[in-house]
Amino acid sequence: MKKFLILLLMASLPLSLAAQINVGNRIKSKVNQRANQKVDKAIDKALDSAEGKESKDPKNASSRGEADEGTPPEEGATATATPRKPAITSYSKFDFVPGTKVLFYDDLMSSRIGEFPDFWLTNGMGQTVRLDELPGQWLQLSKSSRYAPDKRFALPADYTVEFDLIMLGPEGHSLGQVDIRLVQLEEADKNPMAAWRFAETKATLNMGFNYSSFSITDNQSKVHNSFNNNVLYENRGTPMHVAIAVNGTRYRMWINEKKVFDIPQLLEKGAGRNMIFLDSHLAKEDPEYQVYLSNFRVAEGRPDMRKALAADGKFVTHGITFDSGSDKIKPESYGLIREIAAVLQEDPSLRIRIIGHTDSDGAAATNLDLSRRRAQAIKTALATEYSIAENRLETDGKGATLPIDSNDTAEGKANNRRAEFIKL
Q: Supply angle C-alpha 47, 52, 56, rounded to 5.
A: 75
Q: Are strands 240-247 and 250-255 parallel, antiparallel or unpaired?
A: antiparallel
pLDDT recorded at residue 304 = 87
Residue ranges, the chain, pLDDT below 70: 1-90, 92, 187-190, 195-196, 209-210, 270-271
pLDDT recorded at residue 26 = 39
Q: Supply angle C-alpha 41, 44, 48, rounded to 5.
A: 140
Q: Are 53 and 108 in contact (CB under 8 A)?
A: no
B/e letters for 92-126, b = 16+ CB within 10 Å, e = fewer, are bebbbbbbbbbbbbbbbbbbbbbebbebbbbeeeb
Which of 66, 14, 7 lies closest to 35, judged by CA? 14
pLDDT recorded at residue 189 = 60
For the whole model, what pTM was predicted? 0.77
Distance CA 280, CA 113 (A): 20
- In the chain, CATH 3.30.1330.60 sits at 305-423
Which of 42, 281, 68 lies closest to 179, judged by CA? 281
- In the chain, CATH 2.60.120.200 sits at 76-300
pLDDT recorded at residue 92 = 65
pLDDT recorded at residue 388 = 96
Which one-letter amino acid corresponds to residue 98? Answer: P
| CATH placement of domain 305-423 | 3.30.1330.60
B/e letters for 296-316, b = 16+ CB within 10 Å, e = fewer, are bbbbbebbebeebbeeeeebb
Q: Tell me if the domain spanning 76-300 has CATH number 2.40.30.10.
A: no
Its sign, for the CA torsion 99, 102, 103, 109, is positive
pLDDT recorded at residue 190 = 66
The DSSP line for 204-245 is EEEE-SS-EEEEEE-TTS-EEEEEE-THHHHTTTS-EEEEEE
pLDDT recorded at residue 52 = 46
